[in-house]
Structure 1
Amino acid sequence: MRLIIDGDGSPVKNEVIELGQNYQLPVVIVTSVDHYTDKIYPDFLTFIYVDKGADAADYRIIKEIEVADWVITQDYGLASLVLEKGARVFHHNGQEYRKETIDMLLTQRYLGAQMRRAGKKTKGPKAFTQQDRLRFKKVMANLIEKELKLK
């Protein structure tokens, strides 16, 4: 089991790294070369850098994942592809994407894009707070503990 982060713009990278350390799980951050760092990280953390491009990180994540992996992303399109590969996928709020609801989320995304193209204003996501980070970490810690007990 690895924790794989869709790294471009993820507000919970540090929380996932902490979870990986606490539960001795490998963490993989897939991000564009724009976010390159030469900071030294622990051995359980791996960065995979991809070229610039709208979906480059998504394609690399799909290539990398295995059934036992958990992916963290806010991208509904990527989430739907991860679900098809049989891995688990979570939003930054800790909510797990499910096959039963992903079509509805994709439809909402499509309708929002249509409205914006038509000149209508739509609300963006609210700012991610420290409380949101703590909630994410707590939810994920509980899920990881349950998963590890099953093994």
Structure 2
Amino acid sequence: MAGQGAPGIYVDADACPVKDEVVRVAERHELVVTFVSNGGLRPSRDPMIRHVVVPKGADAADDWIVEHVTAGDVVITADVPLAARCVEAGVHVLGPTGRPFTPESIGMAVAMRDLKQHLRETGEIKGFNPGFSARDRSAFLSALDQTVRRALRAAKA
């Protein structure tokens, strides 16, 4: 199944808690996974798993992903600005909790991110994120499998 026309899976990997789950789903569908990070990831001998190390910098991984994805690919990221750029490019985007970023939802996601950033900067709220749970991991697995199946169907059409 891997090859011309098959979607790729790109992972904003530096702080991604679902790397193993991505690999499991990708193996089941015979898709190439590209982990993009500033370093620190152990390379894989599996030819279907690629690691790209980008220079240190605020948006280096984001920029690399946006430059290399094509419409129909799948991106895994918790970074809302990256998600917005990918959605604009026609990419399927999922957060690590299984939350999809779509053309219909990305505007609200960006607005909420900006609001929370403003509230943190003004001291109105603390900058803590909720812990990552087994329920989040399960929801992600289900959402990724559905998203990959949708991407594969679209690639065949």
User: TM exceeds 0.5?
Assistant: yes
Q: CA deviation at 1:40?
A: 3.4
1:89 aligned partner: 93
Indicate the structure with greater helix content. Answer: 1
What displacement does 1:145 show? 3.1
- Among residues 52, 66, 70, which one is paired with 1:48 in the alignment? 52
SS across alignment from 1:122: coil
Amino acid at match of 1:60: W
Aligned residues: 149
2:3 matched to which residue of 1?
none
2:20 equivalent in structure 1 = 14
SS at match of 2:53: strand
- The answer on whether the counterparts of 1:112 and 1:122 sit within 8 Å (CA) in structure 2 is no
Matched with 1:117 is 121
Q: 2:41, 2:95 → 1: CA distance?
A: 23
- Identify the match of residue 138 of structure 1 among 137, 142, 155: 142
SS at match of 2:101: coil
Superposition deviation, residue 149 in structure 1: 4.8
Q: CA deviation at 1:134?
A: 2.0
In structure 2, the partner of 1:27 is 33
Deviation at 1:97, TM superposition (A): 0.7
> TM-score, normalized by length of structure 1?
0.89
* 1:30 partner SS: strand
State the 1:28 CA deviation. Answer: 0.5
Q: Per-residue deviation at 1:95?
A: 2.1
Normalised by the size of structure 2, how large is the TM-score?
A: 0.86
- Structure 1: 5+ residue stretches without partners: none
Q: 1:52-67 alignment to 2 at 5 Å?
A: 52-67=56-71
